[in-house]
Amino acid sequence: MARAGRAGVALFITTIASFVGGSIGIIMLMAFGPTVARFALAFGPAEYFALMALGLVAAAGVVQNSPLKGLAMVLLGLLLGSVGADVNTGEARLTFGLLHLYDGISLVALAMGLFGVAEIISSIAERRGAPITGRITLRSMLPERAEARSTALPMLRGSGIGCFFGALPGAGQSIAAFIAYAVEKRSSKTPERFGRGAIEGVAAPEAANNAAVQAAFVPTLTMGIPGSATMALMMGALLIHGITPGPALITENPEIFWGLTMSFWVGNIMLLVLNIPLIGLWVRLLQVPYHYLYPVILCLICIGVYSLNYSLFDVGMVLGFGALGYGMRLLGFEPAPVLIGFVLGPMLEENLRRAMLLARGDVMAMASRPLTAVLLGLTALLLARMVWRVLRERSIA
């Protein structure tokens, strides 16, 4: 959308979607917190494994024109996610003798490389040198009426997806955002617009992201189970102050629970108050000539990656993944499934191991659990649909 001169509209929709998703997440926390937490608690290792498998297959659907390419990218993500020391045995996997890979590949390096650095390389290769010019007005930042209507359902769907995944411990908002994008692309009548300025592709993931952030408080506050790394830090802060998250928090210290909830509303409203007036400032950054802007962005990416582990090896990785991401774009491969496979892969493996231990190695006993069977059945249906599409396209060709 920025290339089409509509960066202001994209940022405006992003702000509204964040507010909507956050509001729905807070309402869910207030109304259904204990119930949703109990449902999430019913998920054992087998259910989590089936859920992750469903998420991986759904991620392949991001590549609308070629499911096989999507599956290939998911497998690549799984492969990258398995690099490093085995969690249970400590055995090094796919490190090729490099000590820097013993702790695995950095998610930040992979994401910044595949998306950020690859975009810079692509822009330079295509000689995109025409920045936004002219005066930026409030009217130019507002979406058209038809666009506003078209984003309503994606925001609601994204919020629902975010609430579901956010309430599941360990799922996280990044997964919700990618799944929301995949759902919107698969349900769209014009999926080819996604990645080229489809406003729905902006609204749904942003709503899912903020809804998941708020929903992650459900298992954290009501059951004492952190829903994400951020929630683990929040839980630690509460424990330091002598507050123990769990079922007793709502009954014995309702003022803390409702005080936190009200602070979420204040923060959500401040998102609108601060972000909308500053949209013009962020859009004006696009008026800076790209040959000045891109080196600064690349330096910031490298500094950010280096600051994680103070390792030049990570900087080399982000540049290498940038080259890989650019090559994938040239060949028509989407980078999003790689990231989903990378995030879900270790969780999938760990839950499979736990489920098999509990089932004493009996696959049928693991798969016979009702919720597991339903999720695995949905996964099989998605795979069958992909195979059918590929066979149909080949028969037509």
CA–CA gap between residue 166 and residue 163 (Å, rounded): 5
Please, are residues 318 and 302 in contact by the beta-carbon 8 Å criterion? yes
- Name the residue with higher pLDDT: 226 or 102: 102
Least confident of 64-78, 218-232, 276-290, 370-384: 218-232
Domain spans of the chain, in order of start: 7-396
In this model, does residue 12 exceed pLDDT 60?
Answer: yes
Tokens of 225: 């189970």
Least confident of 112-116, 199-203, 266-270, 335-339: 199-203
Tell me how far CA of residue 187 lies from CA of 153, 154, 192, 390, in angstroms. 11, 10, 12, 18
Q: How confident is the model at residue 261 (pLDDT cuts 50, 70, 90)?
A: confident
The mean pLDDT value for 199-216 works out to 81
- Name the residue with higher pLDDT: 203 or 285: 203
In this model, does residue 26 exceed pLDDT 80?
Answer: yes
Widest CA span in the chain: 68
Tokens of 48: 């989590």
Please, are residues 300 and 29 in contact by the beta-carbon 8 Å criterion? no
- Name the residue with higher pLDDT: 16 or 322: 322
- Name the residue with higher pLDDT: 235 or 109: 109
| pLDDT at residue 170, rounded to an integer | 55
CA–CA gap between residue 17 and residue 284 (Å, rounded): 22
| pLDDT at residue 301, rounded to an integer | 92
Please, are residues 314 and 109 in contact by the beta-carbon 8 Å criterion? yes
What is the DSSP secondary-structure string of 138-179? Answer: HHHHSPPHHHHHHTHHHHHHHHHHHHHHHHSTTT-HHHHHHH
In this model, does residue 247 exceed pLDDT 60?
Answer: yes
Scanning the structure block, which residue is given the tokens 């089936």? 50
The three-point CA angle 49-344-106 to 5° equals 150
| pLDDT at residue 319, rounded to an integer | 94
In this model, does residue 131 exceed pLDDT 60?
Answer: no
Q: Which amino acid is at 97?
A: G
Percent of the chain residues topping a pLDDT of 70: 79
Q: How, if at all, do strands 92-93 and 84-85 pair?
A: antiparallel
Q: Provide the mean pLDDT of the chain.
A: 79
In this model, does residue 76 exceed pLDDT 60?
Answer: yes
Please, are residues 312 and 99 in contact by the beta-carbon 8 Å criterion? no
The mean pLDDT value for 93-104 works out to 85
